[in-house]
Amino acid sequence: MTRMPGGRRLALRAALLLLIPPALPALAEKADKDKPTQIESDRMSSDDARRITIFEGKVVLTKGTILVHADRIVVHTDADGFQYATATGNPVTFRQKGDPKDGKEGVWTDGEAQRVEIDERNEHIELFDHARVTRDQDVVRGDYIFLDQRTQFFSVSSGKGAPAPTDARVKAVIQPKTQAAPPKAPAGAAPKPEAPASK
């Protein structure tokens, strides 16, 4: 394993285009997939035989509209070239902008958890431990959040594959999408009389 000198900030630009360009496509709007990936960290180590690259210390990853902050990101590349990233931190935070829809600008999604796992092959994102996702003004919280970017399906639970403790609860706040219009007067109703003019 080769290790870069610690104690200095690593600005990894062109070299990382070969290492992890598609590691986070599932978090991004479609245009982000074609953007370069940039990572800064205090330390980086790479094991070519095991196809693993590790970034440690105040890790900041950007790719188009994606912004991820973590204490550590481990990227593994499989034999077919697909990438799997595990980010850990206290907490890991991410932010990304969605695609425009119905002529409106895309909304921002923010999330955090103690651990975030990104599976490029299956386009899955999993958030573990004290997980929260905010999209526009809607918020969901739980110990485990699963997102399938291909189907836009997500689920929230108190833990992956474990029975829920009796006191564990999933919490969601969903904002109304339209403002209520003032009530209309019934058809044929007499107009409201005007107040007499003051002299």
pLDDT digits (tens, 9 = 90+) for 121-180: 887 889 999 999 888 788 888 889 888 777 767 788 776 655 554 456 666 667 676 655
pLDDT at 104 > cutoff 70 = yes
Choose between 80 and 174: higher pLDDT.
80
Cα separation of 87 and 131, whole Å? 13
Write down the mean pLDDT value for the chain: 74
Q: What's the rounded Cα separation, in Å, for the pair 84 and 77? A: 6
Residue whose structure tokens are 């990572």: 39
| Count of Cβ atoms closer than 10 Å to residue 174 Cβ | 11
The SS3 assignment for 42 reads: coil
β-strand pairing of 153-157 with 66-77: unpaired
For residue 28, the one-letter residue type is A
d(CA 41, CA 20): 15
Question: So what's the pLDDT on residue 11?
Answer: 36
* Fold of the CATH domain 9-173: lipopolysaccharide transport protein A fold (2.60.450)
What band does 190 get if pLDDT is binned at 50, 70 and 90? low
Reported as a pLDDT band with limits 50, 70 and 90, residue 19 is: very low
Tokens of 181: 């219009």
Of the candidate ranges 48-57, 64-73, 190-199, the one whose mean pLDDT is the lowest: 190-199
* Degrees to nearest 5, angle at CA 181 with 175 and 186: 145
| Alpha carbons 80 and 138: distance in angstroms, whole number | 37
Over residues 89-109, the mean pLDDT reads: 84
| H or E element that contains 16 | helix 14-19
Q: Which helix (H) or strand (E) covers residue 155, if one does?
A: strand 153-157
Which pLDDT band holds residue 27 (cuts at 50, 70, 90)? very low
Residue 30 CB: number of other CB atoms within 10 A?
A: 10
